Structure 1
Amino acid sequence: MRLHTLKELDQTEGTVQLRKLGEDTDADASSLVLVPHPSDTDPNDPLRWPIWKKHVAFASVCAFTFLTNYGIGGLAPAFYLLSIEFGKSMTETSNLLLWPILVLGMFNFFWVPIANYFGKRPVFVFASLLLCVTYIWGANAKSFESLLWSNIVGAFAGSSTEALGAAIVNDLYFLHERGAKMGIYMNSISGGNTIGPLICGFVVQSLGWRWHKWIAVIFTAINFIAVLLYVPETRYNRDTPKSLGLTTSDQAISSEEDVDVEKTGSPSVKPVPESPAPERVQVPKKSFIQELSLWSGVPSDTNLFKMFIRPLPMIAYPAVMFAFLGYAVSLAWVVAVNILNSFVLQAPPYNWQPQINGLINIPGLLGNIFGAYAGGWLVDKFCDWRTKKNNGIFEPESRLYLLIIPFIITPAGCILFGYGVQRTLHWTSLFFGYGMISVALTAVPTITLAYVSDCALPVNSDALLLVNGLKNIVAFGFLYGVIPWVEKVGYINCFGTQAGVFVGIIGLGAIPLVLYGAKIRHITAQWRIIL
């Protein structure tokens, strides 16, 4: 079993020429280089799809991700009432969210190898149908155990989008688009956990918690049809650039025969004249009926067993380790508030009704949107500015600078929320605290997942599998003990410690990578750990 280095698969080590400066060396006059380079002969390359087709496929997967968290995490405002209805303690009721979080992470290790071997399309189609069925089950659950298992099986289905949803960003979009699209994807994950509880609070009060599940059934059924019809296979074997020295004419779009700039959604790309090349055989374009097929073949150079064990050694990459730890604490602190807030706000002295309790997710949603904006679109703009200053050369570490935003805001939010609850401060302190904590849930993974993809693009789906799988397992460990932790030390000490852990992980992880990331990438690219 021969092992490979990352450098054998991609000699750029993540450093690529993203812009070519004009002859006058004016950075503003530079032309954008498309990375990865789309196929010149194959119209079925997802990078060459029309922009509407890319967006519809991406939106369908994002909706799938959103509905997973909407149907499961959105039930949080009903926890207090469910604990009364089924005679369960606060800790037992929180299992409706805790165990699904663990499953959402663990089964990444099942779905990603299956998708890499058989294709992403059959996984998305099957899993989206299964999610709909589990919500029907949950809506009809007659016992707490039945409701719990419906959530667990639903999390199994939804876990298919955790890493694969991030990987599809790399399938459909170019490097300069990656941050903004990753931000949209992260908003889809977090939005289910904020919009879901916001809506559920009113639904629970007016119609009962079962109607929350029935609403999820309706939307997941619609989304299943969208996935079935509009999400073709995005897995594609492409030859990655082998060196930084490729000319722009080798990588940039130079004519409509290669890729239509308008249709691919890259209007800022400036065509670069290219010398005449020998005519190449064009691959036939697949019809709509052909794209509906669930079978796209399997790799001939590997087997399913290798697919399952291939990602594991990549935990040694510093980018992967930093990304999963940063994502884990960002997720854990937000879900901790989701678990605890109904027991705080619906009990004395606040005594809020469920629909009013759900309003705490408004600042959570605003925090998520701001975090996705800061970690996505703003990071893309910042990276483009640094690329121009760096003679058109893109360094992945450029993304990490803006981690300063959640680094400052989120720990302050933890402290504010902890003091607000323990000292019974005005509800606005809890709202502001939660909103500030929520910034990290989208900003940190949006930045770090894109960074991992930049550093390990040829094996990005395996690397993202580790990040998404391990982050949920670590978050589960924190969250499993959060209620006993709060009961033992109080909210101030609990959330103060959370703030310190967040500062430690983000600060100690990002600073070395910003300063020495290029050297680290060069060293780790020589490690022979890839199957």
Structure 2
Amino acid sequence: MHLKSLHDLDTSEGTVKLQQDVGGNHAEIVLVPAPSKTDPNDPLRWPRWKKHIAFTSICAFTFLTNYAIGGLAPAFFGLHLEFNKSLTETSNLLLWPILVLGVFNFFWVPLANYLGKRPVFVFTSLLLCLCYVWGACARSFKSLLWSNIIAAFAGSSTEALGAAMVNDLYFLHERGATMGIYMNAISGGNTVGPLICGFVVQSLGWRWHKWIAVIFTSINFLTVLFFVPETRYDRDFSHTASSIPSASASSSNLGTDVEKTGSASAKEVVTQSSSLQVPKKTFVQELSLWSGTSDANLAVMAVRPWPMIVYPAVILSFLCYSISLVIVVAVNILSSFVLSAPPYNFRPQIIGLLNIPGLLGNLFGAWAGGNLVDMFCAWRTKKNNGIFEPETRLYMLIIPFLITPAGCLLFGYGVQNSMSWVSLFFGYGFISVALSATPTITMAYVSDCALPVNSDALLLVNGLKNIVAFGFLYGVVPWVEKVGYRDCFGTMAGIFVGVVGIGAGVLIVFGARLRHLTASWKIIL
């Protein structure tokens, strides 16, 4: 079997020419990766509205996965009483789906790479809707648990595929902002879901939380079925560093003027001889669920991601995402029990309000990890004579590095000492910054470093982070009962500081050297 290196697939090894000086204070954005000159079916050449519909659908899918499963948290105390289950048993409604969301990434991604992303997306969208119907009708705790588990099996398809579709549809200079929106969709499901669920549970009962999810997943299924074509594309990355520049754009707007650049890029690449153009697919042709199979063997595709765990970018991303997820989900699991008991004695809808600061933290984190990073990268790239280095993104990890540990300490000390609910709300808001900021930054970094195999690399990040989170969270209730909230959340704050601080620091200093070194390793099947 012939093994390849990243350098064989992409000679730029992540270091690319992203800006081209045109004199004065202006620069042209260089489109990376280069769109096809002859194929109008290249997703990078799709009209903006078409890209946005596909992107919105994948965001809605991953949002609704977390909305209906993680959003049930405010009802945990009531479910514990209704089904006569212990607090630990009730928390399994969230813990086992977290494990499934991670493990079955390793099933869906190779299948999507082999058969195409569209058939997987259509099937799992339908399955998710049916599972929520099942959950709304469940008459036993076991039935409700299994409906969540199978729903997580369907939803696991988007954790890595969604991030890979961002790279299918958008250019490098757009990647931070779009990845930020996508990560906000993931984290937003875990904050907006409980926020809405608290009011729904109090007024209509927890089953209506599931029925609301059924309505929106059915709408999204129809959107996917009729308006999301196949985004898998056999792209040549060998000329990444010499991509075609778009129309001139002010260098001060490089990080934000995505719409203008995208439109210009579409015009740039179609000025070719009509005799060389590949025929554009019709609407009916794009509805097909069959786009052919990959040349690679399905078994090879299933094995291929694992050697990539040696890439420093993958290690950093999976560890940062893991600890961020652990802290946020720990709060989600514990908050219902904490706030339902004395001295707070909150009703479910009030418990759901805890997710307002969580949502604000997610929004800020996504902006900081997305748009702010893009602006910072544009500025650093200009200073570097138009050369973009992926490690530039990592500087912005300073934001969650400072904010999230403070939130852990505030929440842990607040609960331990029965402090005002205000301290808990602020603590959770600070904690939530990490869940959108750290994966947005580090997963975009992974894509920059390993673009030709980004779906496999992101599969490792998403799959492993959920497995680690499950193992950590499975014991969080007994851990809190043994050592208390202060020591539990203080320890998690320390782990977060160590992982993010040391990891980012090492790669900021040595990342470029390590990236070029590992790019020569022949470990890609």
Q: Which amino acid aligns with 2:289?
A: L
Confirm or deny that 1:507 pairs with 2:507: no
Q: Quick check: 2:34–2:239 contact (8 Å CA) kept in 1? A: no
**Is 1:9 equivalent to 2:2 in the alignment?**
no
Q: Secondary structure at the match of 1:32?
A: strand
Counterpart CA distance in 2 for 1:254 and 1:176 is 14
The 5-angstrom pairing of residues 70-469 of structure 1 reads: 70-242=67-239, 244=241, 246=242, 251-253=244-246, 266=261, 281-300=276-295, 302-469=296-463
Give the whole-Å Cα distance in 1 for the aligned partners of 2:205 and 2:266. Answer: 58
**Number of residue pairs matched by the alignment:** 516
Q: Which amino acid aligns with 2:458?
A: L
Q: Do the aligned partners of 1:416 and 1:429 also contact (CA within 8 Å) in 2? A: yes
Q: CA–CA distance in 1 between the matches of 2:61 and 2:425?
A: 28
CA distance in 2, matches of 1:269, 1:241: 23
Give the structure 2 partner of residue 21 of structure 1.
21
Distance in 2, matches of 1:277 and 1:154, equals 46
Confirm or deny: 8 A CA contact 2:33 2:240 kept in the other structure.
no
1:50-65 correspondence to structure 2 within 5 Å: 50-65=47-62
Among all aligned residue pairs of Structure 1 and Structure 2, give the percentage whose two residues are the same amino acid: 72
Q: Which whole-Å deviations, capped at 9, do the CAs of 1:67-126 have from their partners, x for residues lacking one?
A: 000110010000000000000111000000000000000000000000000000000000
**By how many angstroms is 1:161 displaced?**
0.4
User: Secondary structure of 1:4's partner?
Assistant: coil
8 A contact 2:110–2:301 mirrored in 1: yes
Q: Secondary structure at the match of 1:99?
A: helix
Give the structure 1 partner of residue 512 of structure 2.
Answer: 518
In 2, the alpha carbon distance for the partners of 1:447 and 1:62 equals 17
Q: Determine the C-alpha separation between the residues in 2 that align with 1:291 and 1:277.
A: 24
Once the two structures are TM-superposed, the CA of residue 263 in structure 1 deviates from its matched residue by 11
1:251 counterpart letter in structure 2: I
1:265 to 1:163, Cα distance in 2 relative to 1, 3 A: farther
AA matched with 2:332: N
| Distance 1:273-1:89 versus aligned 2 partners, 3 A rule | closer
1:271/1:477 CA distance change after superposition, 3 Å: closer
Find runs of 4+ consecutive structure 1 residues off by over 6 angstroms: 270-274, 276-279
1:266 alignment partner AA: T
Unaligned runs of 5+ in 1: 256-261
> Secondary structure at 2:66's aligned position in 1?
helix
Scaled by the length of structure 1, the TM-score of the pair is 0.95
How big is the alpha-carbon RMSD for the aligned residues of Structure 1 and Structure 2?
1.8
- For the residue of structure 1 that corresponds to 2:523, the secondary structure is strand
Q: Provide the C-alpha distance between the structure 1 equivalents of 2:374 and 2:187, rounded to a whole number of angstroms.
A: 20
Q: Point out where structure 2 has 5 or more consecutive residues left out of the alignment.
A: 249-256
State the 1:445 CA deviation: 0.2
> Does the 8 Å contact 2:109/2:455 carry over to 1?
yes
Tell me if structure 1 keeps the 8 A contact 2:132–2:151.
yes
- Work out whether residues 47 and 266 of structure 2, in 8 Å CA contact, stay in contact via their aligned partners in 1: no
* Contact 2:174–2:258 (Cα < 8 Å) also in 1: no
> For residues 163-187 of structure 1, what are the alpha-carbon distances to aligned partners after superposition, in whole Å with 9 as ceiling and x for unaligned?
0000000000000000000000001
The partner residue of 2:65 within 44, 64, 68 is 68
* Contact in 2 for aligned 1:324/1:468 (Cα 8 Å): yes
What is the deviation of 1:243?
Answer: 6.5
Residue 253 of structure 1, CA deviation: 3.7
| Partner in structure 1 of residue 253 of structure 2 | none
| 8 Å Cα contact 2:29/2:246 also seen in 1 | no
Distance 2:288 2:268 in 1: 38
Counterpart Cα distance in 1 of 2:342 and 2:266: 65
Cα separation, partners in 2 of 1:333 and 1:278, compared to 1, 3 Å = same
C-alpha separation in 1, matches of 2:171 and 2:19: 13
Q: What is the CA deviation profile of residues 116-166 of structure 1, one whole-angstrom value per residue up to 9, with x for unaligned ones?
A: 000000000000000000001101111101100000000000000000000
AA in 1 matched with 2:406: A
Give the match for residue 259 of structure 1: none
Q: Which amino acid counterpart does residue 304 of structure 1 have in structure 2?
A: L
Q: Which amino acid aligns with 1:9?
A: L
**Aligned partners of 2:385, 2:423: CA distance in 1, in Å?**
46
Amino acid at match of 2:340: Q
**Contact 2:446-2:458 within 8 A present in 1 as well:** yes
Q: Secondary structure at the match of 1:35?
A: coil
1:475 partnered with 2:472? no
In the TM superposition, what is the alpha-carbon distance from 1:242 to its structure 2 partner? 3.7
Give the TM-score, by structure 2 length.
0.96
Q: Distance in 2 between matches of 1:109 and 1:346?
A: 38
SS of the aligned residue for 2:353 comes to: helix
CA distance in 2, matches of 1:349, 1:170: 48
Alpha-carbon shift at residue 240 of structure 1 (Å): 1.1
Answering whether residue 489 of structure 2 is matched by residue 490 of structure 1, we say: no
Contact kept? 1:166, 1:464, Cα under 8 Å: yes
Aligned residue for 1:258? none
Displacement of 1:265 in angstroms is: 5.1
Q: Which moved more, 1:321-330 or 1:232-241?
A: 232-241
Any conservation in 1 of the 2:66–2:193 contact (CA below 8 Å)?
yes
Q: 1:39 to 1:108 in 2, by over 3 A?
A: same
Q: 1:326 to 1:507 in 2, by over 3 A?
A: same
Contact 1:47–1:264 under 8 Å retained in 2 = no
Cα deviation code 1:217-247 (max 9, x no counterpart): 1111111001111110000011114464x3x
Contact 2:361 2:432 in 1 (8 A): yes
Amino acid at match of 2:142: E
Q: Is the 8 A contact 1:32 1:268 kept in 2?
A: no
Q: Which secondary structure does the structure 2 equivalent of 1:111 belong to? A: helix
Give yes or no for contact 2:181–2:366 (8 Å, CA) kept in 1: yes
Q: CA deviation at 1:21?
A: 1.2
Kept after mapping to 2: 8 A contact 1:326/1:444 = yes
Contact 1:32-1:270 within 8 A present in 2 as well: no
